[in-house]
Amino acid sequence: MERFLSDGGLEHHRSREDTLRHLEYWKSRVGEYGLVHITSELVGKERKFLADTPTHKGTKRSAATTNRYMASLSSLLTYAVRELKWIGENPCLHVMKLKESSGRDRVLSPEEIIRLLAACRQSKSPYLFCVVLIGFTTGARLGEILNLEWRHVDLENKLACLRETKNGRPRSIALADEVIAELKMLYNGRNPLKPLVFASKIAFGRIDIKKAWQVALERASIQDFHFHDIRHCFASLAASQGASNLELATAMGHRTLSMLQRYTHLDVQVTKKFSKQISEKLMQTQGESL
């Protein structure tokens, strides 16, 4: 592990902190073993121990989280195989990944969205309404929004460039007129010394909206809804307006269309409308041929 890190194994890694935490865990568990003794059988037993052991918060690790820990260990052992030639094969390759859940499927109704935005507008946080509105109208992730800097916002052309994204590829998002209006007010009252759009009032760096977000959810009487679920809402609303998978993948920053599948929840009425239109077109074509 120390050789892997000193050789820059995580130099350009987007999830560096998470991977370091995983590797420190594995160091505590198998660090005293010789590499030849880290077999697929041992890895399988250690994975079961990891999955069955509660986190520091007392909660059970999900299959997805366990798989992430395993992926970090696998990367380390692959390095030992390919770069160092210290072992002949990676034992993690013989341990099947745990089956992960299909993900959350929480989409708000139009009435719930209106209530939530109204609650955000009433928040003591001067940023919450604008942050949530950007989320609903662009599908951007919370981290992407909070990392946004003024130099990457074009108020005149109603565009913003997200430089720090999950997949490491910058992308631009269109800003609705309502968002522009909110941003202009924030711009007029900004501290010129702070580059972030949503800058902390008392320190340099990102703000934390967790408390304000929870208060808004309670005020709007909305349960079991996370900020990340806003991406589901955006995808569903955009799809209901006729957006293609390619357009949605581009807007949401997905590198593959398969990553988009969990976010699109087309309303049955929309599906029915397309089916009806296709049927009418086919029947019209058939009639003309006769």
- The sign of the CA dihedral 86, 87, 88, 92 is negative
* CA–CA distances in Å: residue 83 to residues 73, 95, 271: 15, 22, 52
Catalytic residue among 22, 47, 115, 141: 141
Looking from the CA of 217 toward its CB, the CA atoms found within 13 Å total 15
- Other C-beta atoms closer than 10 Å to the C-beta of 8 total 9
Q: How many helices (H) and strands (E) would you count in the chain?
A: 12, 3
Neighbouring-strand partners of residue 223? none
Residue spans of beta strands (DSSP E) within 43-200:
153-154, 159-162, 171-174
Residue 166 appears among annotated catalytic residues: yes
Residue 254 appears among annotated catalytic residues: yes
Residue 263 appears among annotated catalytic residues: yes
Residue 231 appears among annotated catalytic residues: yes
What are the structure tokens assigned to 82, written together?
A: 């390919």
Query: Minimal CA–CA distance to 76: which of 21, 3, 14?
Result: 3
How open is the CA angle 127-237-176, to the nearest 5 degrees?
45
Catalytic residue among 190, 228, 262, 265: 228
Catalytic residue among 97, 166, 262, 265: 166
Catalytic residue among 22, 69, 232, 263: 263
Is residue 81 exposed (0-12), middle (13-18) or buried (19+ Cβ within 10 Å)? middle
Active site residues: 141, 166, 228, 231, 254, 263
